Amino acid sequence: MDELRDTNRAFFDKYSEIDDSREFLEFMAKPLRQSFRVNTLKAEVGEVVERLSSHFELEQVPWVEEGFFVYGEGITNTPEFSLGLIFMQEASSMIPPLALDVEPGMLVLDMAASPGAKTTQMSAYMENTGCIIANDVKYPRINTLISNLQKFGAVNVRVTMKDGRYFGRFREKFDRILLDAPCSNVGMIRKNYKYLKLWRQRDVEALSRLQKSLIMAAYKALRPGGVLVYSTCTLDPEENEEVVDYLLSNTDARLERIDLPVKSREPVTEFRGKRYDEEVRKCLRIHPQDNDTEGFFVAKVVKPDE
């Protein structure tokens, strides 16, 4: 706990307004457990679990049928990993593709896609049919995305390298849109303390502005009746509830509850003098101690069907 305070005092002070519980700080300082998702494009869940169980202790992720926590060292040295039968993916990050309700044959936009954990998960749910436009703005990350798509056998994907805001021009085209936004990565502090060292309030504010323009572009590109999922792996209200509130205030967007067996807490409806729309209570705000995962935020947005 002292380590958190000493590493970044400004972070510590702000977060005492968001969650001042002892458990929050304890779990922030505790290393993250590993988890993976079976790539059902290439393998049966039962077969992979049977093979890996002889070397590792596995525990089902309660909210994803093909997701497992793994205990013990060496999972990334297995043939299952090398052959793309499993994707190492944090358990809370498996939630957005589930919330998006993708179906085979749909046209889907993954606006900030690299390294492709959620793209490949959606590809599996779509049984490699329809089309996913997987976009990212950064060239080196595009290469990682392409190599993951290849390794995991996702062939219903086209990759683009654009600023996500570009897609606002494709009015009402997509059945589903995932905006897994660039964020301040507070949820990932459990994975790497560098995110604690790097955290700055002025970056949170800049990211919040970018996220608001990305979500507006995403909403424009969504067809009536379509679903948009907005997610981050951070817990700053300016990057979460405030972004969703911005969308609700400027469009006819509605929110839907996400019904999954995952523990979450009351979203923030007021922060540092700003009040957010009460609808944001329908979002999932997950703190690290809730399920012993990364911190995560997910909102499910629906565009009314005229």
Ligand X SMILES: C[S@@+](CC[C@H](N)C(=O)[O-])C[C@H]1O[C@@H](n2cnc3c(N)ncnc32)[C@H](O)[C@@H]1O
Which residues are the active-site residues?
233
In angstroms, give the least distance from the CB of 235 to ligand X.
Answer: 14
Q: Which of 117, 217, 222, 268 binds ligand X (CB under 6 A)?
A: 117
Nearest Cα to 272, choosing from 22, 20, 18, 21? 18
In whole angstroms, what is the distance from residue 214 CA to residue 77 CA? 38
Which residues in the 204-263 window bind ligand X by CB under 6 A?
Answer: none
165 is written with which tokens?
Answer: 């805001």
Q: Which of 115, 130, 187, 288 binds ligand X (CB under 6 A)?
A: 115
Q: Counting beta carbons within 10 angstroms of the beta carbon of residue 278, is it exposed (0 to 12), middle (13 to 18) or buried (19 or more)?
A: exposed
Q: Which of 67, 84, 130, 182 binds ligand X (CB under 6 A)?
A: 182
Residue 137 as a binder of ligand X (CB under 6 A): the answer is: yes
163 labelled binding-site residue: yes
- From the list 72-80, 112-120, 168-176, 187-195, the region that binds ligand X by CB under 6 A is 112-120
Task: Find the Cα–Cα–Cα–Cα dihedral 155, 160, 166, 169, rounded to 10°.
Answer: -40
Q: Which of 61, 91, 100, 113 binds ligand X (CB under 6 A)?
A: 113
Other CB atoms within 10 A of residue 254 CB: 13
CA distances from 89 to 66, 241, 257 (A): 11, 24, 24
In angstroms, give the least distance from the CB of 288 to ligand X.
Answer: 17
Residue 146 as a binder of ligand X (CB under 6 A): the answer is: no
Residue with tokens 């606002």: 168
Residue 151 as a binder of ligand X (CB under 6 A): the answer is: no
Residue with tokens 């907005």: 230
- From the list 11-19, 47-55, 114-122, 259-267, the region that binds ligand X by CB under 6 A is 114-122
In angstroms, give the least distance from the CB of 66 to ligand X.
Answer: 15
- Count of chain residues binding ligand X (CB under 6 A): 18
Residue with tokens 């021009």: 169
CA distances from 262 to 74, 77, 294 (A): 28, 30, 13
The conformation of residue 159, written as its DSSP 8-state character, comes to E
302 is written with which tokens?
Answer: 């629906």
Residue 187 as a binder of ligand X (CB under 6 A): the answer is: no
Q: Which is nearer to ligand X, 25 or 61 (CB)?
A: 61
Query: Which residues of this chain interact with ligand X, rule CB under 6 A?
Result: 93, 111-118, 135-138, 141, 163-164, 180, 182
Binding residues: 136, 163, 180
* Binding-site entries for S-adenosyl-L-methionine: 136, 163, 180
